């Protein structure tokens, strides 16, 4: 299973970033924070998301159409 920092999701005021619990998490979050200085960096458990279908970017692509 792959848990990549680049499978992040940029949203209003924040960036949701999958983390793996590895020692490199903090350095990677810092680099991402430097790239998005005006947004809150929000780490989420990447392994949980990967088992469910992907990272934050992958799982937010398929938004169902609302039918009335």
The catalytic residue among 10, 29, 32, 58 is 58
Kindly give the pairing relationship between strand 40-45 and strand 14-19. Answer: parallel
Give percent helix, percent strand, percent coil of the chain, each to the nearest 5. 30, 20, 45
Q: Is position 58 annotated as part of the catalytic site?
A: yes
Distance separating alpha carbons of residues 30 and 8, to the nearest angstrom: 14
Catalytically annotated residues: 58
């Amino acid at each position: 299973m792959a848990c990549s920092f680049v499978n992040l999701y940029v949203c209003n005021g924040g960036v949701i970033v999958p983390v793996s619990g590895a020692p490199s998490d903090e350095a990677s979050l810092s680099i991402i924070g430097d790239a998005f200085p005006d947004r809150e960096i929000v780490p989420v458990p990447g392994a949980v998301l990967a088992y469910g279908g992907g990272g934050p970017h992958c799982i937010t692509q398929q938004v169902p159409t609302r039918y009335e």
